[in-house]
Amino acid sequence: MKLDQIANEIAAEIEADAKAVENAADAKTPGLTPGPFGMAIAMVDGSLIRAGSSETFPIQSISKVFALSLALEKLGDTVFERVGREPSGDPFNSVIDLERTQGIPRNPFVNAGALVVVDILVEQFGDNARGVVLDLVKGGIKDATSKAAVMLDPEVLNEGGDLNRAMLHFMAHHDNVCSPVDAIMDTYARQCAVSVDCVGLAQAGCYLADTRIAANAANDRAKRMRTTLALMMTCGHYDGSGDFAVRVGLPAKSGVGGGILAIAPGIASIAVWSPNLDQHGNSMLGVRALEMLNARTGWSVFGPPVG
C-alpha cells in the first residue's frame, strides 16, 4: 500500500475511533471530546504526505529538541557537563532529581534540563537567543502555506512559570545557571510558543532524520543527530519513555500542545497532532496514530520496514 493511503486510512480510523477514545482509561480528562487530528510525513527525499487537520498548535516541549540541536552545534558534547543524558523515571517537572544530582538536571528534556540548554543559548547567542528556535523551525519549512502560518502563541507567551523559576533558582544555587532568570524564562517562553501545523513541524524536524555516516569523514553533524535521537528515544516522554519505545519504536518528542515529532532515521520525519493528553502529557490520539503507522509500515529503529 502507498504511504499516502496509509496516512489517510489512519486519519479516517482515528476519526471513526474517536468516540471510543473519549473515555479511554489512560485519558487525563475522561469524557472530553477527542477533538481534531492531524498528521504529516516529510520523507528525507523531500516528498510530503499529509492527512487530517491543518490547524496550528504551539510546539511547547518539542522545542527542547530544536534547542538541544543548536546547543550541540555550538558546544558539542561539553553540553553534557551541565546536563545529564539519563532517563529519570520521574515526571517532567520533578525537583527531587535536581536535589539528588546537586543541580545537574538528569537530561535535556525534563524541564530543568531544557532550562539549562536555554541558558546555554542565551550565553551563546545573547539577545538573539530569543529567536533562534523560531528561526530554525521556520527555516526548515518548505511548504509556503505552512511557513506563513508560523506564529508565537500569545497564551503560551503569557503563562506563569513558578515551577520553572523554582528550578532555575535551585540550579543557580548550585552554580548551574549563568544568565538572569528573567532572560531565560523569556527565551524559554518564546521557544515553547512557536506554533506550526503538522506539515510545518514534520518539515522543520526532517533534518534529524538524516544520520548517514560516510567512511573516512568527520561526520560531526551525523553524530550530533544520532546523539539527539538517542536522547529522544530514552528520555523523550519523561516517565512514559519506555512504554513509547515499546509501542512506537521511534525516537520522538511530545509537547503539551498535543503535537508529537517522531523520526524514522534515514526515512522520514513524522508530525502528529491532537489536543487531548494522556496522564503522562502525551497526545492520546497522536500516540495511537504512531502505533498504527508502526504496525502498517514496520517503521521502527528495532527492525527493517515491512516487506
Is position 28 an interface residue for its own copies (rule: CB under 8 A)? no
Judged on CB neighbours under 10 Å (0-12, 13-18, 19+), 126 is exposed
Q: How far is the CB of 256 from its own copies (least distance, A)?
A: 16
Using the minimum distance from each CB to its own copies, give the nearer residue, 199 or 229: 229
Stretch that binds its own copies, among 14-22, 47-55, 79-87, 254-262 (CB under 8 A): 79-87
State the DSSP string of 90-137. Answer: S-TT-SHHHHHTTT--SSTTSHHHHHHHHHHHHHHHGGGHHHHHHHHH
Binding of residue 213 to its own copies (CB under 8 A) = yes
Calpha distance 91→72 (Å, rounded):
24
**Is 84 one of the binding residues for its own copies (CB under 8 A)?**
yes
300 binds its own copies (CB under 8 A): yes
Question: How many whole angstroms from its chain centre is CA 167?
Answer: 21
Of 61, 46, 54, nearest in space to 203 by CA: 46
| Distance between start and end Cα atoms, the chain | 11
Regarding 73 and contact with its own copies (CB under 8 A), the answer is no
Q: Which stretch binds its own copies (CB under 8 A): 16-24, 49-57, 198-206, 244-252?
A: 244-252
| Choice between 46 and 307, CB closer to its own copies | 307
Q: Identify the helix (H) or strand (E) that includes residue 215.
A: none
Return the closest-CA partner of residue 93 out of 180, 186, 168: 168
Count Cβ atoms within 10 A of the Cβ of residue 298 and give its class: 0-12 exposed, 13-18 middle, 19 or more buried.
Answer: middle
Name the residue nearer to its own copies (CB basis): 151 or 163. 163
Amino acid in the structure at residue 34 = P
Instruction: Tell me the one-letter amino acid at 138.
Output: K
Q: Which 90-149 residues touch its own copies, going by CB under 8 A?
A: 90, 94-99, 106-107
19 versus 169: smaller Cβ distance to its own copies: 169
Contact region with its own copies (CB under 8 A), list: 12-20, 60-68, 133-141, 224-232: 224-232
Binding flag, residue 178, its own copies (CB under 8 A): no
Is 279 among the residues that bind its own copies (CB under 8 A)?
A: no
**Residues interacting with its own copies, by CB under 8 A?**
84-90, 94-99, 106-107, 162-163, 165-170, 172-173, 211-215, 222, 225-227, 229-231, 233-235, 239-243, 245-246, 249, 251, 265-266, 298, 300-304, 306-307
